[in-house]
């Protein structure tokens, strides 16, 4: 068995010629291997039983030599892929899964049934160029450039990937080479394997933007440190998924989910501050703040989209006020374009951030300079910490949203950060508690957050109208006030319902 430890990058065609020289600059010695034309087929049953177990079965042929490979469930953190892999020579091009050692298969796997129903789901065919390099530290890294395509059901998806795999030595060499490459060419860390892309193509399952960030999966007995690692890894994956969603089909929703993922990472640093020292996250928080700054325009762009959507109640009002429509049009014209966003996702600073988060997680950088209190906190129960955190949030919310006071638009707008942080804590720890009770408690608070976003939309439109002299703007301002008053009335009902909810923890 081999365990792959590799970083995967997506590279554009025009960057490919720069790669050999960069590798030579980094390496002490380089062995340039002959290019290979690899023909690969991936097999599964009609019900995708291997896929359900996160197992990949592949045949690979080069000239007259074939092999079969099993890849078992592994780990993807940022762009770093780690998976157990088993390879056997194969006579012919059809797989024989009984040839593998029976001990590798998960308990209860129906091997005979799967073997009877195996058929090729998709193929990946590409030209592979390989360089084996030796680093100054004595490590060995294999650099692989694959160019070709994934094919399934008459559809194709291009492959242009650069993979760097640690063969021998310290994992730090792998990250150092990645830094070298990112500094000189426009790469993007790849989250999805060729197999994952092939299954999506074969089963016509494109990536879909999530409606919300969801809950970090945690085991009931996990420690705080395990919860931290799960949360940051979940958030990195969430960011990378929606980065790919945006590249596939640009949308503001995909960008908003990237923002959600970044905010979850920052919230985790704060939530686990009993053992995550500020010094270990200072540089990361600076870069996360930079990324949020690059995406700061997304919120106002969402407001503008709301005003100009024919399905929204605002559209008719805006359409009947050409002066305001013109102002909105001018604002939309200066928004970043999809090309600008693709440049962001390919830039060195963005990919260094994802790489740095990956490295921080793998190397457990928060453990540096730990004292006994930090060790104790890290090893303590995540569920106990969740209850303490939720109790504190609940006390704060009951004070902020007290039934003894009347809340107006300005008061609701000022509570957004408090509410969103409370909900993010729930995203981190919520899976430790019963789902239906969790939903019942969070639902009215979610309604209030959506109401606040709607109030901010109205407030933004109000700011665009104020100071304008045309009568149409005056009429819209009056209409906006009526809409805000009606919305606050509905939110007041949600507020009173929220305060009477039974805590789920």
Distance CA 234, CA 264 (A): 9
Distance CA 152, CA 159 (A): 14
Three-state SS for 86?
Answer: strand
Residue 221 is predicted with a pLDDT of: 95
Percent of the chain with pLDDT over 70: 94
Residue 310 is predicted with a pLDDT of: 67
Per-residue pLDDT at 311 exceeds 80: no
Q: What is the mean pLDDT of residues 35-40?
A: 94
Per-residue pLDDT at 1 exceeds 70: no
**DSSP per residue over 396-443, as a string?**
HHHHHT-TTS---HHHHHHTHHHHHHHHHHHHHHGGGS-HHHHHHHHH
Encode pLDDT of 441-471 as tens digits.
999 899 999 999 989 888 888 887 876 767 7
Residue 146 is predicted with a pLDDT of: 96
Task: Tell me the torsion sign for CA atoms 367, 368, 372, 373.
Answer: negative
Residue 500 is predicted with a pLDDT of: 82
CA-wise closest residue to 178 among 427, 399, 9: 9
Any residues with CB less than 8 A from the CB of 280 and at least 6 apart, and which? 360, 365, 366, 368
Distance CA 52, CA 62 (A): 29
Q: What's the chain's average pLDDT? A: 90
CA-wise closest residue to 258 among 218, 305, 292: 292
Q: Compute the C-alpha angle 394/489/437, nearest 5°.
A: 35
Residue 315 confidence class, pLDDT cut points 50, 70, 90: low
Encode pLDDT of 41-79 as tens digits.
999 999 999 999 889 999 999 888 899 999 987 776 766
Distance CA 59, CA 117 (A): 16
Per-residue pLDDT at 417 exceeds 60: yes
Q: What is the mean pLDDT of residues 243-253?
A: 96
Residue 457 is predicted with a pLDDT of: 83
Residue 271 is predicted with a pLDDT of: 96
Q: Between 208 and 54, where is the model more confident?
A: 208
Residue 355 confidence class, pLDDT cut points 50, 70, 90: very high
Q: What is the mean pLDDT of residues 195-220?
A: 95
Per-residue pLDDT at 194 exceeds 70: yes
Dmax of the chain from CA atoms? 82
Residue 79 is predicted with a pLDDT of: 64
What is the number of residues in the chain?
505
Q: Between 27 and 274, where is the model more confident?
A: 274
Task: Tell me the torsion sign for CA atoms 10, 11, 16, 20.
Answer: negative
Residue 222 is predicted with a pLDDT of: 97
Residue 340 confidence class, pLDDT cut points 50, 70, 90: very high
Residue 493 confidence class, pLDDT cut points 50, 70, 90: confident
Q: What is the mean pLDDT of residues 26-46?
A: 92
Q: What is the mean pLDDT of residues 213-239?
A: 96
Residue 474 is predicted with a pLDDT of: 78
Distance CA 133, CA 177 (A): 10
Q: Are 167 and 140 in contact (CB under 8 A)?
A: yes
Q: Compute the C-alpha angle 366/346/253, nearest 5°.
A: 85
Q: What is the mean pLDDT of residues 109-115?
A: 90
Residue 438 is predicted with a pLDDT of: 95
DSSP state of 310: T
Residue 107 is predicted with a pLDDT of: 86
Residue 78 is predicted with a pLDDT of: 66
Three-state SS for 274?
Answer: coil
Per-residue pLDDT at 415 exceeds 80: yes
Residue owning tokens 């107006």: 408
* Assigned token pair, 197: 């892309």
Region of residue 169 (phi > 0: left; psi between -120 and 50: alpha; otherwise: beta) = left
Q: Are 10 and 354 in contact (CB under 8 A)?
A: no
Distance CA 84, CA 104 (A): 10
Residue 86 confidence class, pLDDT cut points 50, 70, 90: very high
Burial letters 422-442, b for 16+ CB under 10 A, else e = bbbbbbbbbbbbeeeebeebb
Encode pLDDT of 425-437 as tens digits.
999 999 999 999 9
Residue 454 is predicted with a pLDDT of: 87
Q: What is the mean pLDDT of residues 229-233?
A: 96
Per-residue pLDDT at 382 exceeds 80: yes
Q: Are 62 and 38 in contact (CB under 8 A)?
A: yes
Per-residue pLDDT at 232 exceeds 70: yes
Encode pLDDT of 174-193 as tens digits.
999 999 899 888 899 988 98
Radius of gyration for the chain, computed over Cα atoms and rounded to the nearest angstrom: 26
* Assigned token pair, 482: 């009526």
Q: Between 258 and 1, where is the model more confident?
A: 258
Residue 287 is predicted with a pLDDT of: 98
Residue 3 is predicted with a pLDDT of: 60
Number of C-beta neighbours around residue 49 at 10 A: 17
């Amino acid at each position: 068995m081999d365990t792959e430890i590799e970083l995967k990058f997506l590279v554009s065609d025009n960057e490919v010629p720069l790669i050999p020289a960069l590798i030579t600059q980094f390496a002490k010695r380089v062995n340039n291997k002959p290019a290979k034309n690899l023909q690969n087929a991936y097999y599964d049953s009609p019900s995708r039983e291997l896929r359900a177990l996160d197992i990949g079965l592949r045949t690979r042929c080069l000239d007259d030599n074939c092999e079969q490979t099993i890849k078992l469930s592994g780990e993807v953190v940022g762009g770093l892929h780690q998976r157990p892999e088993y390879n056997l020579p194969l006579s012919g091009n059809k797989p024989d899964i009984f040839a593998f050692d029976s001990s590798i298969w998960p308990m209860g796997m129906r091997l005979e049934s799967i073997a009877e129903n195996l058929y090729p789901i998709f193929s990946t065919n590409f030209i592979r160029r390989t360089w084996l390099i030796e680093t100054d530290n004595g490590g060995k890294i294999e650099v692989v450039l694959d160019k070709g395509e994934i094919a399934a059901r008459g559809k194709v998806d291009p492959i242009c990937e650069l993979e760097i795999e640690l063969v021998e030595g310290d994992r730090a060499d792998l990250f150092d080479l990645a830094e070298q490459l990112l500094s000189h060419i426009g790469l993007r860390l790849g989250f999805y394997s060729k197999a994952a892309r092939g299954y999506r193509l074969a089963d016509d399952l494109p990536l879909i933007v999530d409606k919300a960030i969801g809950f970090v999966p945690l085991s009931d007995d996990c420690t705080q440190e395990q919860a931290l690692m799960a949360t940051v890894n979940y958030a990195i994956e969430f960011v990378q998924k929606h980065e790919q969603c945006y590249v596939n089909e640009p949308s503001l929703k995909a960008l908003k989910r990237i923002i959600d993922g970044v905010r979850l990472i920052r919230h985790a640093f704060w939530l686990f501050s009993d053992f995550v020292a500020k010094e270990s996250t200072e540089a990361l928080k600076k870069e996360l703040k930079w990324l949020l700054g690059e995406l700061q325009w997304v919120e106002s762009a969402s407001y503008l989209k709301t005003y100009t959507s024919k399905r929204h109640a605002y559209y008719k009002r805006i359409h009947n006020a050409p002066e305001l429509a013109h102002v909105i049009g001018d604002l939309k014209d200066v928004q970043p374009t999809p090309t600008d966003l693709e440049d962001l996702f390919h830039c060195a600073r963005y990919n260094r951030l994802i790489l740095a988060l990956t490295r921080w997680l793998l190397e457990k950088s928060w453990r540096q300079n730990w004292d006994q209190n930090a060790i104790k906190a890290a090893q303590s129960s995540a569920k106990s910490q969740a209850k303490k955190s939720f109790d504190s949030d609940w006390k704060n919310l009951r004070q902020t949203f007290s039934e003894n006071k009347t809340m107006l638009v300005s008061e609701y707008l000022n509570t957004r950060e408090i509410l969103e942080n409370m909900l993010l804590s729930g995203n981190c720890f919520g899976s430790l508690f019963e789902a239906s009770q969790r939903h019942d408690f969070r639902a009215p608070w979610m309604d209030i957050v959506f109401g606040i976003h709607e109030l901010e939309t109205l407030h933004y439109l109000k700011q665009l109208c104020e100071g304008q002299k045309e009568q149409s703007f005056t009429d819209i301002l009056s209409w906006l006030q009526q809409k805000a008053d009606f919305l606050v009335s509905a939110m007041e009902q949600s507020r009173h319902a929220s305060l009477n909810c039974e805590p789920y923890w």
